[in-house]
Amino acid sequence: MSVENSVAFVTGANRGLGLAFAKELLGRGVKKLYAGIRNPDGVDLPGVIPVKFDVTDPAAVAAAALRCGDVTLLINNAGIGRVDASALDPVVIDNAREIFETNFYGIIRASQAFTPVLSANGGGAIVNVLSDVTWFAPPMLTAYAATKSAAWSFTNALRIDVRDKGIQVLALHVGFLDTDLTRGLDVKKSDPRVVAARTLDALETGREEVLAGEQTEALKRSLSTEQPYYLNPPNL
């Protein structure tokens, strides 16, 4: 899919990776860019059209799809994360319920609402922001990782469903990003601007999956070995 002259809708575009996507899309000549966020006043980027949008609210998602009927590119970026003490932490269940509502059901709601829009406009693309914890769940991210694994499964099913509608589905797997969310964490982080650019490059070459970062690439490669990373993390 060509990004230039497309009409894009980015969820969670007011900060972090979503904001990086918005800036990169504008730099590549999109015809129109909608920013789907809970507080439309939270976007201060020339060329962006703020749209009130909450992925946990079915009515809000449906209203946005109705309003933005010219969209050809949907980027499902909105997401939340919580830290668990361990996989045995009693709070994991409550955390999972909360995070699933955004990271899993939110992607489903947005994809189902906008797929008819993309189809009516002759096709287009959906980008789902996933994670490398899809394949390895650190105990401190037990609930979060489960949501990303579920979202990956939905993404793979969605891709099969919409191919005949001329819609490309691209899964982005990425590790820690250098954003406000990870401030204070002493871990290797990727630059959101680089990730956004790499993702759109992959989109324009017709790819259906992009692995952003060496750690993510190495983790994915390990899945076909006798000692995949999720069984023995230190070996990666």
For the stretch 8-33, pLDDT in tens is 999 999 888 999 999 999 999 999 99
The yes-or-no verdict on residue 235 having pLDDT over 60 is: no
Phi, psi of 87, deg, nearest 5 = -65, -20
Please compute the mean of the pLDDT values over residues 83-110 and round it to a whole number. 97
pLDDT at 233: 83
DSSP secondary-structure letter at 178? S
Residues 145-156, mean pLDDT to the nearest whole number: 98
pLDDT digits (tens, 9 = 90+) for 39-65: 888 677 889 999 999 999 999 999 999
Quote the pLDDT of residue 215. Answer: 86
- Check pLDDT > 80 for residue 180: no
User: How much is the mean pLDDT over the chain?
Assistant: 92
- Cβ distance 84 to 143 under 8 Å? yes
pLDDT at 179 > cutoff 70: no
Q: Return the percentage of the chain with pLDDT > 70, whole number.
A: 94
By CB neighbour count within 10 A (0-12 exposed, 13-18 middle, 19+ buried), where does 196 fall?
A: buried
Task: Considering only residues 183 and 22, tell me which one the structure prediction assigns the higher pLDDT.
Answer: 22
pLDDT score, position 1:
93
pLDDT in the model for residue 43: 75
Domain annotation for the chain: domains and CATH numbers: 7-235 (3.40.50.720)
Residue 224: the pLDDT is 92
β-pair partners for 212: 174
The model's pTM: 0.94
Which of 101-115, 138-152, 215-229 bottoms out in mean pLDDT, i.e. has the lowest?
A: 215-229
**Nearest-5° Cα angle at 205, 202 to 210:** 25
